[in-house]
Structure 1
């Protein structure tokens, strides 16, 4: 009756409904399998543990996280302190060896420039001769000296100032 009114053959309706039932049956089986897997995972998670021990485990993990956060803060402060200290340490070096009096050979004299991050520091100049070794020190402020520098000292200073850039 209804199928005659719409002009649809009842065989097509029955086949369509059977296909729909089959699809729903397959979807139901897939859902059952997924629920079974989920139940197994839940049982494995909860096995041997009651709510109290699970709560204790969670509290223990949270305490460990708190300890890690505190440790991280301490490490960060220590690193900041180290970097603050490093600004004043000698980080840049330049060394030039030379023969001061052209009589000894072996280039036993040297100029050593030692600078910090801001190019402040010292140049040590040691001149070696037959009579002895004479050592001088000159202060360097912002890459400059108020006392005139020898060629070797200038070279050592230039080498030191470029050493951090490389």
Structure 2
């Protein structure tokens, strides 16, 4: 006795079912083939647009041009680093620290018209200006400062101005 007959399956319906399944499988595979072919054509178009020119020579020249630009940018970057380093070194020599004290030089004068101003660079070198205002006029004195010290005796206001300038550096750190 045959297995098909044992389960009551007609061989015609079995063959028809298998044929229908195979037909459905062929249709699905055909749709997948069409979709893949469409994507392949799009990829080929993009590739041809990318490679247009003399066998990719234009692409090679494009890459070489970009590499030259990158080399130019690197050179400019090095130049800018050197210039920034020079600027930083020059900044150490500029007067960055300031101390100002206003005072009355003479007891009969009011309004604190006299002042002492200390200006120092990063190395604490600079000067102190002392302008003393009196009824006869204004007298200005300049004193040199080296490493935060003056070799000329400083008045009380000048010392205060120098201390303020030295403290200005401590506040930045």
Flag whether TM exceeds 0.5 (same fold): yes
Aligned-partner SS, 2:142 = strand
What are the ranges of 5 or more consecutive residues in structure 2 without an aligned counterpart?
Answer: 1-35
Change (3 A) 1:39 1:155: farther
Aligned match for 1:163, one of 164, 168, 172: 168
Q: Which residue of 1 aligns with 2:150?
A: 145
Shift of 1:42: 4.2
TM-score by length of 1: 0.72
TM-score by length of 2: 0.69
List structure 1 segments (4+ residues) > 4 angstroms apart after TM superposition. Answer: 31-44
Deviations 1:89-135 (A, max 9, x none): 11111111111113332211110101111111110100001100011
Please, what is the CA RMSD of the aligned residues?
Answer: 3.3
Shift of 1:64: 0.6
Shift of 1:45: 3.7
Q: Kindly indicate whether residue 61 of structure 2 is the aligned counterpart of residue 59 of structure 1.
A: no
Aligned match for 2:108, one of 85, 103, 112: 103
Shift of 1:70: 1.2
Q: Distance in 1 between matches of 2:40 and 2:161?
A: 77
Instruction: Please tell me whether Structure 1 or Structure 2 has the larger radius of gyration of its CA atoms.
Output: 2
Q: Which residue of 2 aligns with 1:73?
A: 78
What are the ranges of 5 or more consecutive residues in structure 1 without an aligned counterpart?
Answer: 1-30
Deviations 1:25-57 (A, max 9, x none): xxxxxx99998887676456436x451111111
Deviations 1:15-34 (A, max 9, x none): xxxxxxxxxxxxxxxx9999
Aligned-partner SS, 2:122 = coil
